[in-house]
A and B are shown apart, each in its own frame.
Chain A
């Protein structure tokens, strides 16, 4: 049965809202398929504003993968801003997709991509505006399946009551497997109803309702157990093992509206084994799987031609680590030299080699700013987090950068790391001054700058720091204030150093939602009913609201905000995500945690790409292996890659 477009009703509201273009779709690269020719239909949601959600690689990849399949239809939906939400509620207009403006409630699946926990209230807005019951238990066979994925979904317990199923890990193959399950179930006449479908799904995804959680009187979890036959005790993540076989996005959606990233991005490898102990992405995406230089070349050529973007981003968790990054940089720079297409490497370690790469990629572009992430202010602290960067490394790197013409260096740090003291943070100020001194020496000029950017550390599931006590926001804020004072103290440097910081309070709520359990559903619901929207945006976030809602919603529980955040866990405690398997051996994680806080100083972990395996557990548990080059291939730039514009 055809589904009517909601656009005529939406169109009447659009003159009354800000940036209406974000709601109309019609972008180059977007796809509108015939409703009746599809037998499985996905609505893909990035639960934030369009301007943030559109460039998201995960959604763009799944959108293409699904729409390429005959009989499958995928459309996108985003969280509407409060001005449109209010109008939709007064006029009764339900949540719509931006592609064909179909009602989200008419789809088979509503899939959410969670890059951050701060989007959980937006999840509720979308489900509610769609006219779908908020709680999974209240949905019938007539409602779409509500599925979550993305990095935050590695601990979906705080939103488990709102989700029907959760996909862990890479989505490319998982969404197709789920599509097949749904199609088969529909063709068989929907045996077992919604419950029957969820049972089938439990073979490829985590279905929270099939697991019971019980608690000790003191509030800790005693156990998590399946409550159905045939449901696995632990659910494993999905890992795509040949990135060359999945060269997406090929033809990205090109927004008409302004968005946060305006470029064609190609993921040059997935996974990272640098072993930074705070980094959830580096732990849950193992092992490293490189995309080959030739696939990267053809994706860039095709993606730039199809999109018209004038910037190419080479994405990964640590892009300079690709085994053929030199060749990739040189060949792409050769191809695009003189074309006004820019190349960028967003994620940079402190390493002089990265400056060489950045120089190559910016052959005739402006060298404005380079960003490095030492993360920890003192050398001791950098060992604690396993970020193996010495001060000499940093000074050598920034000297090279300034000498090559870069005028500004940005340095990223975290505050509130395990074992951190006031002095560790104050060392950032000394470091910044040495950076400026080195830059002035290297260039003989005074107009170079260094910006220090620092935010509060949030312990994340599936990392060695998952047991750590989160630093209280008052402590974080006091250290950030002290650092600000120290940076301004020396007048001969103060003007050359910029300072940006994030307050501690939003991080505490992120910490609550990151390491929380199912009891937080009541807190999230209370905050949302109290008006919480777009919590990742400082202009919308209210700490007072969250603290109040946590207190009231948890009043009858033996746990509270502090229990979830600033409390250290011990080895024996069942963590809310212990039944969700990223492949990491729990004992290895625990040992790495112990190594990091050892009183005699932290022990370091090497990268398994160039040292023997240290048995983090992922490859053996998941049947995967490291996939790195070199392939020895080169790009014949001028012929393989069409020259766009310019001479």
Chain B
């Protein structure tokens, strides 16, 4: 019987920050993984493979933004079998990846994004922006003030094939506030959103949410705002992860 091919060991770990933008916000975690596995091969990066009869490229992913949610701050790490220049890797990946899965930054780390590595450990929390079409900032402000005054905000989330889970949306929220609803300043996807919603009112929430287990997502916070304060957008909200990092780094930035 054939033996599995011996695999070449990794000599370099690169941490990649990438964005999930535009149409690609509808990609799921598994879709994004497929895109990168093919992308590294198209870019001819010397990616390391796991051992065994069904070797997999050694790419580790930090928890991805949910399907439908855009992001400016997704992270993964690549294990390479020969050393590459980080900036060249960024360029080669961007040439190979579909538009909307865009590499922002590549940096070298001793251990990549292993669960116990320093690079991974710094991803404690995320800052999110949520555009709520058809909601006036004043109405959003009242709901947010009410939410922040709560001790707990249990919400249900339906998880496909797993049933309903109850999460405390309040406990994970470190910061939450409302920006004035000027869609033109809503960031990378704001222009498109403005074109969609026309001159309709919109409120923009910014929140810093801790990475808890199970993870509380912005949609859980929106569920609490809807159920408790009747905050219902006129069309689906548009959520973007703006940053991931340590609490120290993210806290206090959301009011700016």
Could you list which residues of chain A lie within 8 angstroms of chain B, going by C-beta atoms? 7-8, 11-12, 14-16, 19-21, 23-28, 254-258, 262, 305-310, 337-338, 340, 359, 362-367, 404-405, 642, 644-647
Contact = CB atoms under 8 A, between A and B. Distances in A.
Given A26-B24, A28-B97, A646-B5, 5 more contacts: A12-B236, A258-B34, A307-B42, A340-B57, A364-B5
Given A15-B236, A21-B31, A307-B42, A8 B195 contact: yes
Which of A7, A258, A405, A646 gathers the greatest number of chain B CB atoms within 10 Å? Answer: A646
A256 B44 contact: no
Contact of A405 (B1, B81, B236): B1
Contacts of A340: 5, 49, 55, 57
Contact of B26 (A12, A14, A306, A310): A14
Contacts of B30: 258
Contact of B98 (A7, A28, A647): A28
Contacts of A362: 2
Contacts of B46: 645
Contact of A24 (B26, B38, B53, B96): B26
24 contacts: A8-B192, A15-B68, A20-B26, A20-B68, A23-B26, A26-B24, A26-B99, A26-B100, A28-B42, A28-B96, A305-B42, A308-B37, A308-B38, A308-B40, A308-B96, A364-B2, A364-B5, A366-B4, A404-B1, A642-B44, A645-B46, A646-B5, A646-B81, A647-B8
B192 A21 contact: no
B172 interface: no
B53 A365 contact: yes
Given A26-B24, A364-B3, A644 B44 contact: yes
Contacts of B53: 365-366
B256 interface: no
A584 B93 CA distance: 52
A12 B2 CA distance: 52
A309 B45 CA distance: 14
Contact of A308 (B4, B42, B81, B195): B42
Contacts of A642: 44
Nearest to B28: A21
Interface string B72-100: 00000000010000000000000011111
Given A20-B26, A21-B27, A256-B98, A14 B41 contact: no
B38 A367 contact: no
Contacts of B42: 28, 305-308
Q: 5 closest Cβ contacts across the A-B interface?
A: A308-B38, A405-B1, A366-B53, A308-B42, A24-B23
Contacts of B5: 337-338, 340, 364, 646
Contacts of B55: 340
Contacts of A337: 5
Interface in B3-46: 3-5, 7-8, 22-24, 26-28, 30-31, 34-35, 37-42, 44-46
A7 B27 CA distance: 16
Contacts, number: 109
A561 B196 CA distance: 50
Nearest to A309: B38
Contacts of A25: 23
Contact of B31 (A256, A365, A405): A256
A367 B28 CA distance: 31
A461 to B, nearest CB: 39
A262 B37 CA distance: 12
Interface of B: 1-5, 7-8, 22-24, 26-28, 30-31, 34-35, 37-42, 44-47, 49, 53-55, 57, 67-68, 81, 96-100, 192, 195-196, 235-236
A646 B82 CA distance: 10
A21 B67 CA distance: 9
A23 B24 CA distance: 11
B23 to A, nearest CB: 4
B47 to A, nearest CB: 6
A169 B28 CA distance: 38
A365 B26 contact: no
B31 A257 contact: yes
Given A15-B236, A340-B55, A364-B2, A8 B31 contact: no
A598 to B, nearest CB: 46
Contact of B38 (A28, A338, A363, A366): A28
Which of A11, A16, A359 gathers the greatest number of chain B CB atoms within 10 Å? Answer: A11
Contacts of B40: 308, 645
Contacts of A309: 38, 41
A16 to B, nearest CB: 7
Contacts of A262: 34
Contacts of B23: 7, 24-26
Nearest to A647: B8
B44 A14 contact: no
B138 to A, nearest CB: 24
B8 A646 contact: yes
A27 B34 CA distance: 12
Contacts of A256: 24, 27, 31, 34-35, 98
Contacts of B27: 21, 256
A54 to B, nearest CB: 13
A605 B98 CA distance: 51
B156 to A, nearest CB: 18
Nearest to A7: B23
Which of B22, B42, B44, B81 gathers the greatest number of chain A CB atoms within 10 Å? Answer: B42
A94 to B, nearest CB: 18
